[in-house]
Chain A
């Protein structure tokens, strides 16, 4: 267990980061030019990291599988980005944001990392504003805020329902500036398919050129993974459909520990699945819960039109169960409460798997115009997809897979246990514990990329200045490329009868049914069996058309799905191991009499970091004990 040193600096929580920055090793500008850094991913995390590193003078190579870095999944984030500006004078502070995240994450995140994320949040907003991100303003011209789930202050900066788009375009613009200055080289339509280690250090990657199918080698002194989350393991999710876990998984196979893989967030408010062809679920931003009231009819099977159901026949179940936070409870709590009502037979809509989110009262109070100004594009999105006008009748919503708190294990430096391999943004596990608060991801991704990694990587790079540029003809590159080639050839030569999508859908259903919002021992064991069987079927009956040496979207999918099978296995193992309920991980065996999550701090106050030991050999569990020095570990209550 010696390998799990989180390297948290000494000192009080509020001073750690400052002291760290004061003592970190630096690299002089002339040397930076000779040092190469690979960044995989161009989302809010990757773009900001690449541009900040480029500004510093490192020689940066960036990769994404989309045709343009601007299209990374972060572009789809909607509701907002948190910062501790306290512009609203409502009592906010770094400590409060830190505390909200620690509590929101159900005391399963590392104090020092979370505190630092809160600490840099204000700089993120300043930087984005300077980059031209048009955050919402009030009539005096100042930036304005709204509140988000799980908190009692207004600290969320937003740009209508397109905050992620605007932040993403901000970081993309800083990336473009570095590309034009020649510090950053962009490789789009490339997929990283392996990590290359030389003498145990991360020294490069193998990519597939998605247009020509060619395998390419790229070397560097350090590799940063900013490859996003793996929520698409559920097939249907609110993520972009190409999002996947491959980059992180490949690093895992090379020795990087995977932490808390079963911590997957199910978001309470997305448009319910309408039919079997559906390829994704559309999120209705959490910000809507500021004004939307969530309810179901008090009677089962009430078939009346929602507008005809009078007040006394409505059950505003969140307001009823959680009077202190009401509709703004955290996501895990909101999702489970919706599932509970629907499972009990009170659900609405054609499938009974939906609840109402109603804006009637808000419109009455604030008028159509204000509501439109705040949520116009979301209302329109809802209308386009469902044909229902939310100004006139309540939205129907249901939980859906959304975000993965789990990810590559990193220390305080954001470095994995592989020297020189970093993980930032959604790809790491560090800041959100067992449940992420709304608007805290963009904040973390951008903070990691702009304000944290550039410091922490310097500590490592300072020791690399004597290492000349890494050649790509080393045997380690030969081997890695050969392995990638073999796996692709294997996938395409199965020549069975079913498509990658067929298997992905089936896998997603198993994960949703047994490893989604609620889990239990029996179900998880069953899921493990089902995944094993399906994986076998995949490797014997998969059909991938066409060839490897051309643009072939099916081989891309096949590769990602093949990794999902292995990741699913680990996710289930992790969920089985954690015999407690915490945050998004709800084990039915572990609940209070009134159905709330019951943690077991005596046994599970740790980060579960899993080590890959080889095919067919069980993963080894390493525990990073969580020490809470600043906050008292409490029962998380929103009542």
Chain B
């Protein structure tokens, strides 16, 4: 099949970017979206053009490296997957496909489709951990955790830190990402001792880094490849207000 690609090209952080059109005919529906870009890059290199820069590593939806804005949606038309899991079967012969990097002020573009997501790491430096030193942990079974809570914590912990939630949000809010981490740790007894400090510090850092406010539009949940749900944000708010009040 063939597709017309309109891909955001930007030489570096300071350069002005623009869409460049590529008519690509050697597309097979069996390719993944990133394999399609790989193939296009092979062609560009051979023609002495600059290949398109984009991040990826695991190529199975778990590392969170990839993540492109495709036809106006993070990770393209399908729900619950990251960009590397998107197949060209999702497109038709002759389609025009727009490909852009995440657009959000706290995620500046580095080159083409690559953005700087280090703001996410910084939020976690502010409190995304349980302070336990190596060697001082009690036996794994000394603290029983109701399965229900443990399962819920797991559901929150599967966030891959990809940033699709921020890219999907008109306010560039990082609430879903922060809520997932806060929930994961708050739901476990091991995470309770620091729960108040954690939520306050992480939210403060998120604000400091320029992420926008949450206005409950739910776009993040709809586009999250791991389907992290909005109840996490409700839990974050509850944790935050109790922390503030106490």
Contacts and interface: CB of A to CB of B under 8 A. Distances in A.
Interface of A: 48, 51-52, 55, 66-71, 73, 75-76, 85, 87, 122-123, 125-127, 129-132, 134-143, 159-160, 162, 165-166, 169, 172-174, 176-177, 179-180, 186, 188, 211, 240-242, 274-275, 277-280, 282, 381, 384-385, 387, 450-451, 454, 497, 499, 501-502, 543, 545-546, 550-551, 553-554
A85 B140 CA distance: 9
A240 B63 contact: yes
Interface in B60-108: 60-65, 81, 85, 87, 89
Contacts of B134: 48, 51-52, 55, 127, 174, 450-451, 454
Contacts of B110: 211, 551
B185 A132 contact: yes
10 contacts: A68-B117, A68-B118, A132-B188, A134-B151, A173-B129, A179-B125, A188-B118, A241-B59, A279-B35, A546-B50
A309 B30 CA distance: 28
B140 A143 contact: yes
B145 A132 contact: no
Nearest to B47: A545
A519 to B, nearest CB: 28
B45 A545 contact: yes
B157 interface: yes
Which of B31, B44, B140, B141 is packed against the most chain A CB atoms within 10 Å?
A: B140
A554 B46 CA distance: 12
B114 A551 contact: yes
B219 interface: no
A129 B190 contact: yes
A272 B204 CA distance: 47
A51 B140 CA distance: 20
Contact of A70 (B56, B64, B146, B190): B64
B135 to A, nearest CB: 7
Contact of A140 (B60, B121, B144, B158): B144
A277 B51 contact: no
Which of B55, B60, B191 is packed against the most chain A CB atoms within 10 Å?
A: B60
A71 B35 contact: no
A166 B118 CA distance: 20
B34 interface: yes
Contact of B38 (A132, A139, A160, A277): A277
Interface residues of B, number: 77
Contact of B129 (A165, A174, A497): A174
A165 B156 CA distance: 13
Contacts of A122: 140
B124 A71 contact: no
B57 A242 contact: yes
A123 B132 CA distance: 13
Nearest to A280: B59
A282 B154 contact: no
Contacts of A129: 137, 140, 143, 190
A177 B131 contact: yes
Which of B48, B65, B81 is packed against the most chain A CB atoms within 10 Å?
A: B65
B210 interface: no
Interface string B27-58: 01011101100110010111011110101111
Contacts of A132: 130, 153, 157, 184-185, 188, 190-191
A68 B120 CA distance: 9
A285 to B, nearest CB: 12
Nearest to A279: B35
Contacts of A125: 140
Given A68-B161, A126-B137, A387-B89, 16 more contacts: A66-B57, A67-B116, A71-B57, A71-B65, A76-B58, A125-B140, A130-B190, A136-B150, A137-B145, A140-B144, A141-B145, A159-B157, A160-B154, A173-B124, A176-B128, A381-B61
Contacts of A127: 132, 134-135, 137
Contacts of A240: 57-59, 63
A451 B161 CA distance: 28
Contact of A76 (B12, B60, B81, B184): B60
Interface string B132-171: 1111111111011111001101100110110000000000
B111 interface: yes
Contact of A75 (B30, B58, B126): B58
Nearest to B48: A545
A174 B151 CA distance: 22
A554 B130 contact: no
Contact of A275 (B11, B28, B139): B28
A74 B61 CA distance: 13
A134 B154 CA distance: 6
Contacts of B136: 130
A138 B85 CA distance: 32
Interface in B1-33: 11-12, 28, 30-32
A501 B43 CA distance: 12
Contacts of B143: 129
Contacts of B44: 545
A134 B45 contact: no
A123 B136 CA distance: 9
Given A76-B60, A241-B59, A551-B111, A130 B118 contact: no
A166 B213 CA distance: 29
A67 B117 contact: yes
Interface string B184-208: 1100101100000000000000000
Contact of A499 (B32, B46, B64, B151): B46
A169 B65 CA distance: 15
A545 B87 CA distance: 27
A284 to B, nearest CB: 11
B63 A169 contact: no
A279 B145 contact: no
Given A67-B117, A129-B140, A174-B129, A123 B135 contact: yes
B155 to A, nearest CB: 9
A135 B48 CA distance: 50
A169 to B, nearest CB: 7
Contacts of B190: 129-132
Contacts of B49: 545
Nearest to B126: A180
A551 B53 contact: yes
Contacts of A166: 154, 157
Nearest to A77: B62
Nearest to B85: A384
B144 A142 contact: yes
Contacts of A384: 81, 85, 87
A134 B150 CA distance: 6
Contacts of A387: 89
Q: Which 8 A-B pairs have the closest CB atoms?
A: A141-B144, A130-B137, A173-B129, A134-B154, A126-B137, A129-B140, A180-B125, A71-B63
A282 B48 CA distance: 32
B42 A499 contact: yes
Contact of A67 (B34, B55, B132, B154): B55
B23 to A, nearest CB: 18
A48 B133 CA distance: 11
B12 A169 contact: no
Contacts of A502: 42
A166 B153 CA distance: 11
A563 to B, nearest CB: 18
Given A73-B57, A278-B35, A131 B154 contact: no
B89 to A, nearest CB: 8
